[in-house]
């Protein structure tokens, strides 16, 4: 009886830590303030209909374009760079494997599950072929944070202000639970 090789599961996306650090370290002070303000004062809830609309390719591309107008860095980091990295991962996964018995390359079969917003980017990058090492190193590196004092002070204030606010909410909830 012939034994089939077990499938290999390869998680081909870039680390979320690198993606978030690249995005937030690339923001200007003004963009950071706008995002924090929107996150704090946004009360919008997402409905099922809105989720279903986002599944349509045209609407999704329109939303990405709107985001790119206000925060082009986010579009670059969350979509464009990840398209490149996902395509690279697929190229690596699709490389023929050498058989131990005879040393001949064996073609591989790859099944990829990606978000609809990445399909067009992966297709266009696929045609370019394998990614060179310098481009891969660039999208895997974390750029240094802005060195300006005001930018560092604001980010410090936002970070520790959030923890202070969270602590106040927890203390308030605990004090209400006491009888």
**Poorest-pLDDT segment among 31-40, 62-71, 86-95, 159-168:** 62-71
Nearest to 8 by CA among 104, 87, 94, 82: 94
23 pLDDT above the threshold of 80: yes
Q: Quote the DSSP letter at residue 131.
A: P
User: What is this structure's pTM?
Assistant: 0.65
DSSP letter for each residue of 47-116: PHHHHHHHTSHHHHHHHHHHHHHH-HHHIIIIIIIHHHHHHHHHHHHTSPEEPTTT--EE---------G
Mean pLDDT value across residues 8-22: 85
Q: Which two tokens stand for residue 110?
A: 């790859």
d(CA 86, CA 116): 13
Beta bridge partners of 98: 105
């Amino acid at each position: 009886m012939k034994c089939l090789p077990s499938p290999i599961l390869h998680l081909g996306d870039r680390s979320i830590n690198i993606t978030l650090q690249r995005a937030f370290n690339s923001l200007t002070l003004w963009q950071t303030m706008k995002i924090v303000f929107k996150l704090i004062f946004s009360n919008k809830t997402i409905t099922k209909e809105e989720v279903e609309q986002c599944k349509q390719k045209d609407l999704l591309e329109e939303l990405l374009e709107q985001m790119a107008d206000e925060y082009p860095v986010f579009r670059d980091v969350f979509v464009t760079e990840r398209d490149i990295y996902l395509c690279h991962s697929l190229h690596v996964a699709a490389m023929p494997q050498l058989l131990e018995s005879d040393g001949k390359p064996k073609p591989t079969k790859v099944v990829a599950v990606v978000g609809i917003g990445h399909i067009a980017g992966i297709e266009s990058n696929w045609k370019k072929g394998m990614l060179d090492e310098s481009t891969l190193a660039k999208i895997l590196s974390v750029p240094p944070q802005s060195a300006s004092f005001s930018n560092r002070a604001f980010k410090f204030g936002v970070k520790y202000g959030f923890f202070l606010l969270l602590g106040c909410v927890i203390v308030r909830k605990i004090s209400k639970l006491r009888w």
